[in-house]
Amino acid sequence: MRAAHALLSASSAQRWIRCPPSARLSATKADRSTKFSEEGTEAHELGCFKVKQSLGLVGKEADPTSTLKYFTSEMDAHTTDYAVFVLELFDKAHDACREPMLILEEKLDYSRWAQEGFGTVDALVIADSTMYVCDFKFGANLVSAEDNAQLRLYALAALETYGYLYDIEKVCMCIFQPRREHISMSVKSVVELYEWAETVVKPAAELAYAGEGSFCPGEHCTYCRVAAECRARAEHFQETVQKSDTEPVLLTDIEISELLSKLDGFISWAKSVQDFAFSAALKGKQWPGFKLVAGRQGNRSFSDKKAVEAAALEAGYSDIYKKDILNLTDLERLFGKDNFKTIFGNFVTRAPGKPTLVPESVKGTAIQIQTAAEIFSAEPISEEDI
């Protein structure tokens, strides 16, 4: 079982560093457990077990699978992939160091820079001059290791705890996210990390611990406990376009671009407000002008499939079954990736990605779209070209 979160936790550092007063304000709200957070906790427990079992540190009797509420074949496959990833890093460390260190699910302290600050790191691998800090993300929301405050705080805490044992010069911070088939890495020198701790973390932590500083809405608001009620966040979206009698009736291209840059955040904020209001209403909260009503009934389903089979046979119907090929993912797990590719590779197709409008900073080649004017202005095709 993991330790409770600190006020200035590593997992919320991306937020309290940018928006210091949010730390104390969030602490006034209870931490709500969700299916996704519980599922993530179970995946971490199973992944840790698989690493330890592979190293002979625990036996089969320690397998937590039977006690997991959300265990599925998908979780089984992804936690195995995570264990393999960590063990590969440990093997790599053996090539560079006679006695590398592997630490799993350990509580680390970084209170030197953030009062009462601590967090639980998923995996640490230390080999002389290099330290690997690994974070297992079981969720589907893409996470990058670049400029990741959580990983950096884990790295600093690990340096404080184990730095005297090794001459660590650089830290490789890793995000392993199997549901997105995503591995992200960021390398920083120890000097760079300590400089960041003193110039960025320490001053922000002092403000956050005191409940002071300025509110600063942004992407980091997503998991804030008061995101739905935060006035600064609401004003941030309301001020995107200011009404003026002198402005043109239609939005300019620049204004639309500015709106697009905030649209994902706006949708997330609007949804959080809606969810907050609905949750409160279920507990008896009366919102002026709104009421709770019964929604559309759910889809029909059979309460007893065996009874349905018996009733169909009695009525003279036996062909009530449907059979189909397993989906690609299940077949790949059944046959193994290599065998699957050998046997079925020639039959696998992938539809092209749906065009998406994203900021220029996002990786990817821009699609070249011909306008109607460009198409009709092209040279006509001659009879010889046909």
Q: Let me know whether 270 and 232 are in one domain.
A: yes
For the chain, the average pLDDT equals 87
- pLDDT category at 256 given cuts 50, 70, 90 is confident
Instruction: Examine residue 90 and state whether it is found in any structural domain, yes or no.
Output: yes
Q: How far apart are CA 71 and CA 53, in angstroms?
A: 18
- pLDDT category at 28 given cuts 50, 70, 90 is confident
- Lowest mean pLDDT across 80-89, 203-212, 366-375: 366-375
Q: How far apart are CA 166 and CA 127, in angstroms?
A: 8
Q: Let me know whether 67 and 176 are in one domain.
A: yes
Instruction: Examine residue 357 and state whether it is found in any structural domain, yes or no.
Output: no
Total domains, the chain: 2
Burial status of residue 89 (CB atoms within 10 A of its CB: 0-12, 13-18, 19 or more)? buried
Helix (H), strand (E), coil (C) string for the chain: CCCCCCCCCCCCHHHHHHCCCHHHHHHCCCCCCCHHHHHHHHHHHHHHHHHHHHCCCCCHHHCCHHHCCCCCHHHHHHHHHHHHHHHHHHHHHHHHCCCCEEEEEEEEECCCCCCCCEEEEEEEEEECCEEEEEEECCCCCCCCCCCCHHHHHHHHHHHHHHHHHCCCCEEEEEEEEHHHCEEEEEEEEHHHHHHHHHHHHHHHHHHHHHCCCCCCCCHHHCCCCCCCCCHHHHHHHHCCCCCCCCCCCCCCHHHHHHHHHHHHHHHHHHHHHHHHHHHHHHCCCCCCCCCCCCCCCCCCCCCCHHHHHHHHHHCCCCCCCCCCCCCHHHHHHHHCHHHHHHHHHHHCCCCCCCCCCCCCCCCCCCCCCCCHHHHHHCCCCCHHHC
Q: How far apart are CA 359 and CA 219, in angstroms?
A: 14
Instruction: Examine residue 264 and state whether it is found in any structural domain, yes or no.
Output: yes
Q: Let me know whether 152 and 21 are in one domain.
A: yes
Phi/psi of residue 327, nearest 5 degrees: -70, 170
Q: Let me know whether 87 and 123 are in one domain.
A: yes
pLDDT in tens, 122-132: 999 998 899 99
Q: Let me know whether 240 and 196 are in one domain.
A: no
- The pLDDT value recorded for residue 376 is 62
Q: Let me know whether 123 and 248 are in one domain.
A: no
Is residue 158 within 8 A of residue 63, CB to CB? The reply is no
Q: Let me know whether 43 and 157 are in one domain.
A: yes
- The pLDDT value recorded for residue 240 is 62
> Taking Cα atoms as reference points, which of 141, 188, 118, 119 lies closest to residue 37?
141
Q: Let me know whether 179 and 100 are in one domain.
A: yes
Instruction: Examine residue 338 and state whether it is found in any structural domain, yes or no.
Output: no
In terms of average pLDDT, the best of 231-235, 303-307, 370-374 is 303-307
Q: Let me know whether 138 and 270 are in one domain.
A: no
Q: Let me know whether 140 and 272 are in one domain.
A: no
Q: What is the mean pLDDT of residues 255-277?
A: 83
Tell me which amino acid residue 383 is.
Answer: E
- The pLDDT value recorded for residue 273 is 86
CA atoms in the 13 A half-sphere facing the CB of 104: 20
- Lowest mean pLDDT across 166-175, 222-231, 242-251: 242-251
Domain span including residue 141: 13-211
Instruction: Examine residue 302 and state whether it is found in any structural domain, yes or no.
Output: no
- pLDDT category at 244 given cuts 50, 70, 90 is low
What lies within 8 Å, CB to CB, of 4 at 6+ separation is none
- Lowest mean pLDDT across 112-126, 138-152, 204-218, 337-351: 337-351
Instruction: Examine residue 359 and state whether it is found in any structural domain, yes or no.
Output: no
- pLDDT category at 384 given cuts 50, 70, 90 is low
Q: Let me know whether 240 and 95 are in one domain.
A: no
Report percent pLDDT > 90 for the chain. 44
CATH number, domain of 102, equals 3.90.320
Instruction: Examine residue 369 and state whether it is found in any structural domain, yes or no.
Output: no
Instruction: Examine residue 114 and state whether it is found in any structural domain, yes or no.
Output: yes
What lies within 8 Å, CB to CB, of 81 at 6+ separation is 176, 178
Q: Let me know whether 135 and 191 are in one domain.
A: yes
Q: What is the mean pLDDT of residues 208-224?
A: 89
- pLDDT category at 368 given cuts 50, 70, 90 is confident
- Lowest mean pLDDT across 89-98, 178-187, 294-303: 294-303
